[in-house]
């Protein structure tokens, strides 16, 4: 695949030209996952399934069994969407299994990259991903040099297979434990360095207003943003062709009613999750560090106006990210305080089951921010 006109640049820093990762060569993680899926045996199995349905379709439709023909058509249409999904899931499982067996390589690459005190988190993890991709490909463990899409995948694996055994004191042999502890210590120091830089960084000015200033409530604001999602609309459009495959108008009407009811149920669930869920934008490590740095600087305590200041600073920072949508911002200082109290402070207990976001490595920063906020 050509790399021209597909390269991306990090929106908060310059990329290293020596770093070779799929993020630079593919338009999105989706196209990368599709490409990777074609390099395994799963697509052939799915094509066989799809071909079997096509082969049976003429015989089923010409038969007098209406229910059987309807089920076959539905399976055929749904297979078009499910085949890529199943292939990508299988590919992800194989990649995770490979990394779990290569903990030593992950720790060594991380230690090598983050030994430099000038290394930034985002670019550093991309370098780790690049090193592992080359290692897996050269060793014949992976069929392409694209095993890991970018550094964010490496960071998740590092948290799961390196930080978790260290912080939860799992039983490890002495040599392996020392190797993991060394990598964890160096990475932890880079986290502290980033925290110190963010505390001193005043280049991003706080916004003048919060969403709370122009919306009646947090629920109407989130509802407005959730309705802009196109996911359930795409599903609805994909279901419409099935309605017109029915033989009579009565069956078409019944099918249409079912599709509409399912669409309403899906939309209601989506809206409910949005209304009841927490702010989704503070999931990356750099964003969580920035939030903790802002809390340490402002020291809001129980002052709601100071929490508004923290929220404004974070919203201004998040607005620099083109991937952040309207709902992925703090509605007001109260929501910002709630996020800190419910999502970050509990991590100090050491009980963690989520490896997708920064947890173990930011515990010292949470302790510092908690001491400053004194909530």
284-303 per-position pLDDT tens digit = 888 899 999 999 988 888 88
Distance (Å) of CA 160 to CA 90, 95, 182, 362, 374: 19, 14, 16, 15, 31
Write the burial class of residue 250 (CB in 10 Å: 0-12 exposed, 13-18 middle, 19+ buried).
Answer: exposed
Is 253's pLDDT higher than 50? yes
* CA gap 95, 191 in Å, rounded: 26
Q: Identify the weakest region by mean pLDDT among 177-191, 215-229, 253-267.
A: 253-267
Across the chain, mean pLDDT equals 76
Residue 374, pLDDT score: 61
Residue 127, pLDDT score: 93
Q: φ and ψ at 154, to 5 degrees?
A: -60, -40
- Determine the average pLDDT of the residues in 60-65: 65
Domain ranges within the chain, ordered by starting residue: 95-200, 203-375
* Count of CA atoms in the C-beta half-sphere (13 A) of 108: 10
- Stronger pLDDT, 140 or 273, i.e. the higher one: 140
Distance (Å) of CA 175 to CA 115, 120, 181: 20, 28, 10
**Band of the pLDDT at 110, cuts 50, 70, 90?**
very high
Cα of 282 vs its chain's centroid, Å = 11
Percentage of the chain lying above the pLDDT 70 cut: 65
Distance (Å) of CA 370 to CA 17, 87, 351: 39, 44, 17
């Amino acid at each position: 695949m050509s790399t021209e006109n597909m390269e991306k640049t990090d929106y908060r820093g310059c990329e290293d030209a020596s770093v070779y990762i799929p993020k630079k060569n593919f338009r999105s993680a989706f196209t990368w996952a599709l490409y990777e899926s074609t390099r395994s045996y799963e697509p052939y199995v799915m094509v066989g399934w799809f071909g079997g349905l096509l082969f049976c379709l003429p015989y089923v439709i010409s038969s007098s069994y209406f229910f059987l023909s309807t089920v076959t058509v539905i399976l055929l249409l749904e297979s078009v969407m499910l085949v890529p999904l199943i292939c990508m899931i299988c590919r992800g499982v194989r990649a995770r299994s490979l990394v779990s067996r290569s903990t030593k390589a992950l720790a060594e690459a991380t230690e090598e990259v983050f030994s430099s005190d000038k290394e930034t988190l985002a670019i550093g993890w991309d370098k780790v991903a690049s090193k592992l991709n080359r290692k897996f490909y050269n060793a014949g463990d992976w069929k392409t040099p694209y095993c890991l899409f970018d550094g964010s995948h490496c960071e998740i694996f590092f948290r799961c297979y390196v930080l978790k055994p260290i912080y939860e004191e799992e039983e490890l042999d002495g040599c392996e434990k020392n190797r993991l502890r060394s990598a964890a210590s160096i990475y932890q120091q880079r986290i502290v360095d980033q925290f110190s830089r963010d505390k001193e960084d005043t280049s991003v000015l706080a916004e003048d207003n919060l969403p709370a200033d122009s919306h009646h409530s947090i629920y109407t604001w989130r509802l407005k943003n959730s309705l802009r999602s196109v996911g359930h609309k795409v599903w609805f459009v994909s279901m419409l062709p099935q309605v017109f495959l029915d033989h009579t108008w009565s069956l078409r009407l019944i099918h249409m009613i079912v599709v509409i009811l399912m669409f309403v149920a899906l939309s209601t669930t989506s809206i409910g999750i949005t209304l009841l869920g927490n702010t989704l934008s503070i999931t990356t490590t750099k964003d969580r560090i920035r939030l903790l740095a802002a809390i340490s600087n402002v020291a809001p305590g129980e002052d709601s106006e100071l929490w508004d200041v923290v929220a404004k600073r974070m919203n201004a920072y998040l607005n620099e990210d083109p991937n952040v949508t309207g709902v992925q911002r703090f509605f007001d200082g109260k929501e910002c305080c709630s996020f800190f109290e419910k999502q970050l402070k509990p991590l100090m207990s050491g009980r963690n089951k989520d490896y997708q976001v920064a947890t173990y490595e930011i515990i010292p920063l949470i302790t510092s921010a908690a001491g400053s906020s004194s909530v």
